[in-house]
């Protein structure tokens, strides 16, 4: 399951830019029996490598706005730390709800415009 899960997560990450977490977290929880917090932590660790590999392709094709990267990076790092700190304080049920609602919101936003 791990190689296939990783491959599908990698394709999703490279294609959508979300690192494959949307696929990997629910699968790790349901098929792997992981609690939400461990699945999130594991997925984030995998996403680091997925982001590097995916970014390399976009960089090679000159599809990265480096000025924007520089301006977003500081806030993104602070936000990631704050989000992870909040996530570990939430119950597993609440973390699952936040995760699901986020992706529902993203899907609706993309469909509406």
pLDDT tens digits in sequence order for the chain, 113 residues long: 577 877 777 777 667 667 678 888 998 999 889 999 999 999 989 888 888 988 999 999 999 999 999 999 999 899 989 999 999 999 999 999 998 998 899 889 989 97
Q: Are 12 and 20 in contact (CB under 8 A)?
A: yes
Q: Which residues contact 54 (CB under 8 A, 6 or more apart)?
A: 10, 13, 14, 17
Q: At what angle do helices 92-112 and 36-60 cross, to 10 degrees?
A: 40
How far is it, in rounded angstroms, from Cα 24 to Cα 63? 26
Distance CA 103, CA 50 (A): 19
Instruction: Tell me the whole-structure pTM to 2 decimals.
Output: 0.76
Q: What angle do CA 58, 25, 42 make, to 5 degrees?
A: 80
C-alpha distances in Å from residue 77, one per residue of 5, 6, 15, 57, 107: 27, 24, 22, 22, 24
């Amino acid at each position: 399951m791990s190689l296939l899960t990783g491959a599908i997560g990698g394709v999703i990450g490279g294609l959508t830019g979300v690192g494959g977490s949307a696929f990997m977290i629910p699968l790790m929880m349901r098929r792997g029996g992981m609690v939400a917090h461990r699945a999130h932590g594991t997925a984030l660790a995998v996403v680091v490598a997925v982001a590097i590999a995916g970014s390399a392709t976009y960089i090679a094709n000159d599809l990265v706005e480096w000025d924007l990267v520089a301006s977003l990076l500081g806030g993104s790092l602070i936000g990631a730390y704050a989000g992870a700190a909040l996530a570990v304080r939430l119950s597993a049920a609440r973390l699952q709800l936040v995760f699901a609602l986020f992706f529902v919101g993203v899907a609706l936003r993309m469909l509406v415009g």
